[in-house]
Amino acid sequence: QLVESGGGLVQPGGSLRLSCAASGFTFSSYSMNWVRQAPGKGLEWVSFISSSTSTIYYADSVKGRFTISRDYAKNSLSLQMNSLRVEDTAVYYCARDPGPYDSVYWYFDLWGRGTLVTVSS
């Protein structure tokens, strides 16, 4: 399973670090993603990191402000969010790509329940 944490209320321009704890599967074998959903809106892909960490992608909307990383020892995925904007307000989900090792399928077969990030003054 995947369990996100670290969400909360932050002022515009502030920072927040989200974490996602993985269990029940071999975390190091899978690429991982962050996907978010603003209130009343559809899902939006945010960032990708390959199983080997050799490949990282970001949505244009967060490029230069967010940093994705993973810790194999802790079976954990992270998202460091800086220079937060009101439009970053959303539930953030971590999601697994089912492709083994560095094969990437680009859909998501395992999701967490999400953590809410609210950016407001």
Partner 1 sequence: EIVLTQSPGTLSLSPGERATLSCRASQGVSGTYLAWYQQRPGQAPRLLIYGTSSRATGIPDRFSGSGSGTDFTLTISRLEPEDFAVYSCQQYGSPPLTFGGGTKVEIK
Smallest gap from Cβ 73 to partner 1, in A, equals 25
Under 8 Å CB-to-CB from 73, ≥6 apart: which residues? none
Under 8 Å CB-to-CB from 118, ≥6 apart: which residues? 7, 8, 9, 10, 89
List residues binding partner 1 (CB under 8 A): 2, 41-45, 59-60, 93, 95, 105-114
CB-CB contact of 31 with 49 (8 Å): yes
CB nearer to partner 1: pick between 72 and 105: 105
User: CA 64, 5, 15 angle in degrees (round to 5)?
Assistant: 35
CB nearer to partner 1: pick between 70 and 96: 96
CB nearer to partner 1: pick between 21 and 59: 59
Smallest gap from Cβ 11 to partner 1, in A, equals 27
Smallest gap from Cβ 45 to partner 1, in A, equals 5
